[in-house]
Chain A
Amino acid sequence: MCLFLYVFSIDVAGVEMIISRKTRLHIWFRLLLLQASWNFERLQGIGFFYVLLPGLRKLYSKEKLLEVSRKYTGYFNTHVYLAPMVAGAVLKLEEDQASGVADPTVEVDDFKEMVAAPYAAIGDALFWGGLRPLAAGVALFFAVKGILWAPLIFILIYNLVPTWFRTVFFVRGYRQGMESVELIQKHRLPDWAIHTKETAIVVLGGLSAFMVFTQLTQHQLPSWLGLLTLIPMVMLGLVARKGLSTLFLVFITVSCIFLIGLFWADVVYLFTSWGARE
C-alpha cells in the first residue's frame, strides 16, 4: 500500500504530465480487472481498452476518442503482471501523439503488438514457471508442519515481486514510454526465470525429503528407506515428460498404494492368526 502511494507520488520534474495522478491511480485499479472479459478471439483485447479508457478520455474527445478506442479493442495478450508496464508506456505514447510532441508516423499500435508476446513469454517463465513453485514449496514446509499461517506466508512471498512489477513498472512505463523496453532487456529476466526455477527445484527436493523423513519417523521405520522414494518419483517424472496427464498418474499411484496396503494388511493378518494357532 505504502509502496504504490509512494510510487504514484513521484512525478518527473520538468516534464509536464497531462494524465493526472488520480487518473493514473484509476487506471492502475482497472488493471486489476484486466482479464474480466478474457475470450478466445481477442484474449485481453477488451480488457486493455477498458484499462486505458480513463486516460484516453483525458487526451481525446468526441470522434477522435472513438477512433482511438476502436484501435484498442483489438487482439491483445500479455502477462497480467507486465500489462501495467505496457499500459503505462502506451499511455505515454498516446499522450505524446495527442500533444503533437511525437512523430505521428510512429504507430502506438505497433508498439503494443511488438511487446505483447515477448512480455508474455518473460512473465510466464518468471512468474508461473518460476516464482509460483518456489513460493508454494517454501509455504508447504510450514503447512506440512501444521502451521496455520502457511497460506499467508505463501501469499506474502509470492506477491512481493508481482506487486513490484505492477506498480513500479507501471510508473516507469509511463515515464519512459518506448524506452521502457530497455528496462526489460537490461535485467535479463529470462535468465532470472531459469535461476528461480532451479531454486524452486532445490526447495521442492528439500520439501520431499522433509515429508518422507517425517512420515518415516512417525511410523518408526528405518530412515534409509526414504531414499527409495527417489526411484518411483524419477520414474513418474520421466513418464510425465512423455505427456501423460496428472489425473492418470494420481490414479495409478493411489491404486498401487491402496492395493499394497490391502495386501500388507492381509499378510499381517495371516501372520498373526498363524501365530495365534501356534
Chain B
Amino acid sequence: MSLVLTRIDNRLIHGQVLEAWVPFVKADCIVVANDDIAAKPLKKLMMKASVPSRMRVEIGTVAESVALLKSNQLDRCKVLLLFGTTSDAVRAYREGLAFNQLNLGNLQANKGKARLSCTLFLDPTDLDDLELLDQAGIRITSRCIPADSERFWRKLIPVYKGRV
C-alpha cells in the first residue's frame, strides 16, 4: 500500500478532495478515519454516494481505519487518507500508523479558535497536536488545493501569536 496523501479536512470528502487532489496524487482509494461518520450509517452512505463508483471508499472509526491501513487489504491501492481533526491524526499516529507528510486543508471556525490562514482555524490544543506530530518527523504543510502554494505550518504561527 502506498499512502499518497494524508489530509486534515473537517469536511472530509468534498469537491477539493475529489476534483483537485485525487487527480493530482492519482489516488484510487479514499480512506476516511472519523468516529462521528462511522457511527451514522446515513451520513456514511451519502458520503459514499458522492464518489464515482470506480474509486474505492472506506469509511471507519480512527481505530478501524488504522487497522485497515496496516493490514494488507489495500496493498495494491494508492490511498488518500482523510482525518476530520488534528486529534484524530495524533490518535492514528499513536496507534502506529506510519505517515511522513500531513496536509492541512480546511479546519472550520469554532469559538475560541484563531485563524491561521483563510480556511484554517486552530486552537491551542490543535497546535499542541501538530507540534507533537512535527516532533515525530512528519512534514506538516498547509495547502487547500494543489494549485495553491504549499506553506510550512510553522510559518503561519507568528500570525497566530500576534493575534492572541
Decide if A and B touch, CB cutoff 8 A. Answer: yes
Chain A residues in contact with chain B, CB under 8 A?
A: 40-42, 75, 77, 79, 114-125, 128-129, 181, 184-185, 188, 190-191, 193-194, 241, 243, 245
Determine whether B156 belongs to the interface, using a CB cutoff of 8 Å to chain A: no
Per the CB 8 Å criterion, the residue count for chain B at the interface is 29
Closest partner residue, chain A, to B49 (CB atom): A185
List of 5 A-B pairs having minimum Cβ-Cβ separation, nearest first: A124-B15, A118-B50, A121-B50, A190-B52, A117-B14
B19 engages A128 (CB within 8 Å): yes
Alpha-carbon distance A243/B83, docked complex (angstroms): 24
Cβ distance A243 to chain B, nearest Cβ, rounded Å: 5
Residues of chain B in range 50-89 having any CB-CB distance to chain A below 8 Å: 50-54
Chain B residues in contact with chain A, CB under 8 A?
A: 11-15, 17-19, 23-24, 40, 42-43, 45-47, 49-54, 108-109, 118-119, 121, 146-147
Cβ distance A247 to chain B, nearest Cβ, rounded Å: 11
Query: Could you write out 29 A-B pairs with CB less than 8 Å apart?
Result: A40-B119, A41-B121, A42-B109, A77-B11, A115-B46, A117-B12, A117-B14, A117-B50, A118-B14, A118-B46, A118-B47, A118-B50, A120-B11, A121-B14, A121-B15, A121-B19, A122-B50, A123-B15, A124-B15, A125-B18, A125-B52, A128-B15, A129-B19, A181-B42, A181-B46, A184-B49, A190-B51, A190-B53, A194-B54
Interface on chain B toward A: helix, strand, loop, or mixed SS?
A: loop
Alpha-carbon distance A122/B146, docked complex (angstroms): 19
Contact of A114 among B19, B23, B43, B119 (CB under 8 A): B43
Cβ distance B29 to chain A, nearest Cβ, rounded Å: 15
Alpha-carbon distance A114/B146, docked complex (angstroms): 26
Alpha-carbon distance A185/B49, docked complex (angstroms): 6
Alpha-carbon distance A116/B43, docked complex (angstroms): 10
Cβ distance B157 to chain A, nearest Cβ, rounded Å: 18
Alpha-carbon distance A123/B19, docked complex (angstroms): 10
B108 engages A190 (CB within 8 Å): no
Task: Report A-chain residues with C-beta under 8 Å of the C-beta of B40.
Answer: 114
Alpha-carbon distance A184/B146, docked complex (angstroms): 28
